[in-house]
Amino acid sequence: MTGLTGDQLARFQENGYLVVEDVLSAEDLAAIEDEYREILDRVTAGLVSQGRIPPPRGTNFSERYIEAMQHIDDMYTLYQHLDICLPMVKELDHSHTMNTGPAVFHLLTNPRLLDIAESVIGPEIYSNPVQHTRIKPPVRYLPDTVTDSNIAATTWHQDNGVINPEADNTDMLTVWVAVTDATVENGCLIVERGSHRDDLTMHCPGTAASATTYIPEAIIDRDRVVPLEVGAGGVVLLHKLTEHASLANHGESIRWSFDLRYQPIGQPTGRSVFPGFIARSEAHPEQALIDPDEWANLWWNARDRIVSGEVPWQFNTRWNANARLPICA
C-alpha cells in the first residue's frame, strides 16, 4: 500500500485538509478525458441537429464544452450527461441521466486513491454515493443566474451538512480529484483551516435561485481561510466537518474536478436513495466490486426504483427551518 506518510496524516488531522500532488497518472487522466470527450461529442451532435447550438469549432474538450455552454439555452441539459450521480431534482423521471462509464468506475476504484483513503479510514472501504464531477467554465461565459456549484463557484459548506443526519457519525472522507490544474485564478478550493474541530456549523437551505445548502459568508473566519492549489492528477483530502468553498473561475479554460467520498463499510452514507459499493475489503476481498457494468446497473436500477415510487425521493431537510433566519435571507 502506498498511502499517506505519518507526517501527512498528522497534518490532515491537524488542519482538516491535505493536498497530495501527483496521485493519478497521465494515463488515468487521459482515460477520463477520452470518456468525457465521447459523451460531449455525442450530446452536442444531438443539440446541433436540433438547431439549439451551432457546430462546435474547438479542438479540445475544454474549448468544445465552453462553446456548448455559451450557446445552449439550458446548460443543465448538457451537464446532466456529465455528472456521476443522478440529479437531485424535485421530480426524477426516466429522461434523467448521468455518466456511469468505465473510466469513472476505474477512478472510484483507483488503487492509489484507495491506498490514501485506507490511511485515514482503514482497510474496509465503501464508496459513498455522494459524488459529483464539477466542470466549471470561466465565469465570464456564465449567465448571472447560474449558481449551481457543479458549474459556477461553490458556496461555503461542510460535507456533513449536506447529507442526512443518520450519517452524522459516519467517518466520511472527501477525496477531491483535480483533472485540470486548480489555481486561485481558475477557481481552486478554499478552506477554513481547523474548522473541522468546531462541530457541525449552521447552514442555510437552498433558495429558489440556488438549491445549494450553504454556510452564510458572514460566519466564516476569513483569517483562517486558505486557498488549496493543486496540479492535475493531485487530490485534496477534506474532513467531513471542514468548511470549504471554491473561488470563481477567472481563467481561460475549464476547471475540472471530481468529488469522491469514502467511508468504512457498514456505516450510513447519508444519501441512502443512491447506491454505494464495497471498493476494498481486507477481511472479505471477494466482496469488492470490480465490474464497471455492475456499478452502472446499480445506478440505473436506483433510478427505476425512485421513478416507480418504490424508494422515497427525499434529501436532507434538517436546515429548512433556518430559511426564516435573517442571516439566511
Per-residue pLDDT tens digits for 61-70 = 999 999 998 8
Pairwise CA distance, residues 64 & 53, whole Å? 11
Shortest CA distance to 65 belongs to which of 141, 149, 120? 141
Q: How many CA atoms lie within 13 A of 295 on its CB side?
A: 27
Inter-residue contact 16 to 242 (CB < 8 Å): yes
Give tens-digit pLDDT for 232-243: 999 999 999 999
Q: Is residue 149 within 8 Å of 302, Cβ to Cβ?
A: no
Q: What sign does the CA torsion over 141, 146, 152, 156 have?
A: positive
Q: For the chain, what is the radius of gyration of the CA atoms?
A: 19
Class of residue 225 by CB neighbours under 10 A (exposed 0-12, middle 13-18, buried 19+)? middle
- 215: its cell numbers: 454556510
At position 28, the amino acid (one-letter code) is: D
* pLDDT category of residue 209 using cuts at 50, 70 and 90: very low
- CA 15 to centroid of chain Cα atoms: 21
In DSSP terms, 20 is beta-bridged to 235
Q: Which amino acid makes up residue 195?
A: S
The answer to whether 150 and 83 have CB atoms below 8 angstroms apart is: yes
- Find out whether 159 and 222 touch, Cβ atoms under 8 Å: no
> Which of helix, strand or coil describes residue 18?
strand
pLDDT higher than 80, residue 28? yes
Query: So what's the pLDDT on residue 163?
Result: 94
State yes or no: pLDDT of 208 exceeds 70. no
**How many other CB atoms are there within 10 angstroms of residue 94's CB atom?**
10
With 0-12 CB in 10 A as exposed, 13-18 as middle and 19+ as buried, what is 158? buried
Question: Model confidence over 150-164: pLDDT tens digits?
Answer: 888 999 999 999 999
Structural contact between residues 21 and 234, judged by C-beta atoms closer than 8 angstroms: yes
pLDDT tens readout for residues 263-290: 999 999 999 999 999 999 999 999 999 9
Does the pLDDT of residue 100 top 70, yes or no?
A: yes
